Amino acid sequence: MSNKYYITTPIYYVNDKPHIGHAYTSVATDFIARFMSLRGNDVRFQTGTDEHGLKIQKAADASKIDPIHLCNKNSQIFRDLTVTLNLSNDDFIRTTEKRHIDGASYLWNRLYERDQIYLGEYTGWYSISDETFYNEKDLIKQDDGSYKTVTGGPVEWIKEKSYFFKLSEWSKKLLDLYKNNPNFVNPASKRNEVIKFVESGLNDLSVSRTSFKWGIKTPTDVDHIMYVWLDALTCYANGVDYLDDSKSHLKEYWKNVIHIVGKDILRHHAIYWPAFLMAADLDIPTKIFAHGWWTNEGNKISKSIGNVIDPIEIINEYGLDQFRYFLLREVPFGNDGDFSKEALINRINSDLVNDLGNLCQRSLTMIEKKRDSIIPMITKYGEHEKSLKKSSETVLIEGSELINEFRIHEYIKLVWVHISRVNKYFNDNKPWELEKINEEEFLNVLATTAEQIKNIAFFINPIMPDTSKEILKLIGIIDASFTFDTMNRTNVNGNKLSKIKHLFKRV
């Protein structure tokens, strides 16, 4: 099996303002990508912006500008967000780029040639805010007789000529796929929802529009533009040149593809996307993971309520790594979660300041003061030292298994169990007393603690990449390559510390 992995995050609607949901999908995907690199996988990570559709055309019309100008301006905001969040993405794709338009057209042609697309007329409900067609049974009837989608958006009745994709013909193949690959849709609860939906019967899918222009023209009929989801989903394949006939080396990444998405867009990824690919005789992704949604202090986040959480404001107030830690630690990945400042502050003060910050501060300050900043040598592996070593090895082995199952918050818990063991080792050995009675033991405790602080710095790298670097710098390691292999090979004993400073501020 190839060691190359392709990890993706959904591309953001360019018309939205960045909010906590965008930050969450991105940071969680970044965690997975960084963790897999850490354990030696060759990872490619892509994000980007979704720029076509009626919503954007309407917004551009309202401001009397060309849609592409609006897209250029807004796409840059999301590109800046990737920097603000310290994402390790290798690529940022825009659906208005030539490589994307060519790839989407390539898929259309393959579907057309295989007789998977036919011309008809669409009459039914459409939600502009979700850019999604709905069956009436999946909508919520309001008191005034109108309908709303589960995400709260209005729907309108549309009637227009449209090409259809023969989705209904793929039900059996899709159900076989879920049955034969139980890990295709994760978590299991979401997999069951998908299966139920497919079992309830699939209609053919309208895949083109004629009532507006802002989209990719279908290559077989220039009067139609592609349905924005057919267009957008191909971004994943286009980022690794999979939908062209070139000999690009990036195609190798299409062998192991992991899509991380929010639960609201699981249907598009777990049903439409593999159906399009199978119908075009192309390879499908390996796994899809659907995460939950955040609420704000118990309330659904919505523009109309005005309780949208701006990730940049939180980062400016509390710090990036604090925010990343909170998002990943607070809620089991896959579940819904509630954002509150109180919960964020508790996590910062207890897990970061008390547990991690204090461990580094106390032990390294002792090395600074008593040993002129030189980390002593480990001279003995007694019972306690051996058990710390074992605890650290457990993080490596069990941690990797947990991440294979996307159990991010449990991995973090495991790392924090290790941190508390190192804290306990330091406390129980009372180096401040040992110093006077047994110098060899005293130095051994400092050296062992420093060694474990190095390991912790690697363990937290996917969660808090800046803090990880900062800790390594404190213990004299600069420019480390972040792999567990390097961690095992790097020795800190004899290193000179750099000037000690607090890692986190108490709030």
Residues that bind ligand MSP (CB under 6 A): 10-13, 16, 21-22, 24-25, 50, 232-233, 235, 261-262, 264-265, 293-294, 301
Q: Which residue is nearest to ligand MSP (CB)?
A: 262
User: For 494, which DSSP code?
Assistant: T
d(CA 443, CA 369): 13
**Three-state secondary structure string covering 8-42:** ECCCEECCCCCCHHHHHHHHHHHHHHHHHHHCCCE
Task: Rank residues 409 and 418 by Cβ distance to ligand MSP and give the closer one.
Answer: 409
Minimum CB separation from ligand MSP for residue 147, in Å?
A: 21
Minimum CB separation from ligand MSP for residue 18, in Å?
A: 9
The dihedrals phi and psi of 58, each to the nearest 5 degrees, come to -65, -45
What does DSSP say about strands 221-226 and 257-262: parallel, antiparallel, or unpaired?
unpaired
Q: Identity (one letter) of the amino acid at 324?
A: R
Minimum CB separation from ligand MSP for residue 72, in Å?
A: 17
Minimum CB separation from ligand MSP for residue 37, in Å?
A: 22
The dihedrals phi and psi of 216, each to the nearest 5 degrees, come to -90, 125
Q: Which helix (H) or strand (E) holds 312?
A: helix 311-318
Task: Rank residues 260 and 460 by Cβ distance to ligand MSP and give the closer one.
Answer: 260
Task: Rank residues 233 and 356 by Cβ distance to ligand MSP and give the closer one.
Answer: 233
Minimum CB separation from ligand MSP for residue 128, in Å?
A: 13
For residue 194, is it left (φ>0), alpha (ψ between -120 and 50) or beta?
A: alpha
Q: Identity (one letter) of the amino acid at 201?
A: G
Task: Rank residues 10 and 465 by Cβ distance to ligand MSP and give the closer one.
Answer: 10
Minimum CB separation from ligand MSP for residue 326, in Å?
A: 14
d(CA 477, CA 454): 9
Minimum CB separation from ligand MSP for residue 148, in Å?
A: 17
Any idea what the Cα angle at residue 316 is, between residues 310 and 318, rounded to 5°? Answer: 100
Task: Rank residues 292 and 431 by Cβ distance to ligand MSP and give the closer one.
Answer: 292
Q: Are 290 and 183 contacting, i.e. CB atoms less than 8 angstroms apart?
A: no
Task: Rank residues 235 and 503 by Cβ distance to ligand MSP and give the closer one.
Answer: 235
What does DSSP say about strands 257-262 and 287-291: parallel, antiparallel, or unpaired?
parallel
Task: Rank residues 24 and 442 by Cβ distance to ligand MSP and give the closer one.
Answer: 24
Minimum CB separation from ligand MSP for residue 50, in Å?
A: 3
Task: Rank residues 206 and 234 by Cβ distance to ligand MSP and give the closer one.
Answer: 234
Helices first, then strands: H and E counts in the chain: 19, 19
Among the listed residues 203, 130, 138, the one whose alpha carbon sits nearest the alpha carbon of residue 165 = 203
Minimum CB separation from ligand MSP for residue 321, in Å?
A: 20
Task: Rank residues 129 and 483 by Cβ distance to ligand MSP and give the closer one.
Answer: 129
Minimum CB separation from ligand MSP for residue 190, in Å?
A: 12
Minimum CB separation from ligand MSP for residue 46, in Å?
A: 11
Task: Rank residues 15 and 423 by Cβ distance to ligand MSP and give the closer one.
Answer: 15
User: For 63, which DSSP code?
Assistant: T
Any idea what the Cα angle at residue 200 is, between residues 198 and 268, rounded to 5°? Answer: 35
CA 216 to chain centroid: 27
Q: Is the dihedral of CA 271, 273, 276, 281 positive or negative?
A: negative
Task: Rank residues 12 and 416 by Cβ distance to ligand MSP and give the closer one.
Answer: 12
Please name every residue paired with 46 in a beta bridge, in sequence order, or none if there are none.
8, 91
The runs of H, that is alpha helices, within 356-438 are: 358-370, 383-404, 408-429, 431-437
d(CA 399, CA 342): 29
